[in-house]
Amino acid sequence: MATADDVRRIALSLPGALEKLAWGMPTFRLADRGRVFAALDEDDRSMGVKCPKDERAELIAAEPDKFFLRPGHDDNYAWMRVRLAALDDAELYAILLDSWRQAAPRPLLAAHPDLAAPSAT
């Protein structure tokens, strides 16, 4: 089971990441442009991460105990929620890395090819 401390540890290990309090919650963003790639919810039991809008429904349908939307808040954004209790450390890392990749500008991705998304062959 992942915790808020695990989110913080992993998120801050990603290149260019920093923590900043916003909307009363810890957010994890890229220092260069301030793009948010993760945010802990008020209760530290879930987090918001970037997710393409066209992928959310499938993820939520496949694992509704893990993924969800906060009604009225996530509807119009490429963002979704993840319940921390449903994650192990490896899955938490994968989710945060994917969200970081979506927020990272090209120069940052190019500077860290080991973290760039695998290319399709």
Rounded Cα gap, residues 29 and 22, in angstroms: 11
In Å, what is the CA distance from 17 to each residue of 22, 81, 87?
15, 20, 21
User: What residue type is 36 in one-letter code?
Assistant: V
pTM above 0.85, yes or no: yes
DSSP class of residue 96 equals H
Mean predicted confidence (pLDDT) in 26-35: 91
* pLDDT of res. 23: 84
Measured between alpha carbons, how far apart are the two ends of the chain, in Å? 34
Rounded Cα gap, residues 34 and 97, in angstroms: 16
Mean predicted confidence (pLDDT) in 84-98: 97
Cα angle 116-119-121, degrees, rounded to a multiple of 5: 165
